[in-house]
């Protein structure tokens, strides 16, 4: 972390939405992790990768609708959503949820990073003395 990086607990939390099942859950999880790494490297975003449920599902499988419900619960707590390219009805539903919940949606990593940088400027204004 560079001296200009903002601690993770103060960064906007970004839900990384994208294809999971098709064509391959492992490859799609790999892509999501790489996207998350790039968001982290920006110094202004903490990503949440729902694809990591892959391991949980391997240990204790659940019905796809159970996973969709869990993912929406995660998304509801996020500040923004990045929609990765690719066909996915689940990710499309997550985008629809985000729009309905007034969660900003981005289809480009650079746009997401720009928004987060602007948000961080608003969130980190100097405190005023309240005496």
What pLDDT does 24 receive? 94
**b/e per residue 75-108 (b: at least 16 CB within 10 A):** beebbbbbbbeeebebbeebbebbeeeebbbbee
Encode pLDDT of 77-114 as tens digits: 999 999 999 999 999 999 999 999 999 999 999 999 99
Strand partners, 16: 82
One pLDDT digit (tens) per residue for the chain, 131 residues: 454 678 888 899 999 999 999 999 999 999 999 999 999 999 999 999 999 999 999 999 999 999 999 999 999 999 999 999 999 999 999 999 999 999 999 999 999 999 999 998 887 656 544 44
Structure tokens given for 103 = 């969660």
What pLDDT does 52 receive? 96
Instruction: For the beta carbon of residue 58, count every other beta carbon within 10 angstroms.
Output: 9
What pLDDT does 93 receive? 97
**CATH assignment of 13-43+54-117?**
3.40.50.450
- For the chain, domain boundaries: 13-43+54-117
CA-CA distance, 118 to 92, in Å (whole number)? 26
CA distances in angstroms from 46 to 9, 33, 38, 69, listed in the order given = 8, 12, 10, 22
* Dihedral angle sign, alpha carbons of residues 86, 120, 78, 24: positive
């Amino acid at each position: 972390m560079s001296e200009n990086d903002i601690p993770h607990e103060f960064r906007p939390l970004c839900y990384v939405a994208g294809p999971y099942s098709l064509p391959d859950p492992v490859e799609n999880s790999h892509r999501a992790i790489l996207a998350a790494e790039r968001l982290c490297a920006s110094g202004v975003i903490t990503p949440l990768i729902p694809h990591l449920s892959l391991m949980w599902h391997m240990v204790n499988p659940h019905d796809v609708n159970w996973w969709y419900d869990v993912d929406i619960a995660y998304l509801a707590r996020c500040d923004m959503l990045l929609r990765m390219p690719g066909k996915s009805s689940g990710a499309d539903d997550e985008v629809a949820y985000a729009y309905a919940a007034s969660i900003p949606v981005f289809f480009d990593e650079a746009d997401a990073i720009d928004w987060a940088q602007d948000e961080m400027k608003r969130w980190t204004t100097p405190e005023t003395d309240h005496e």
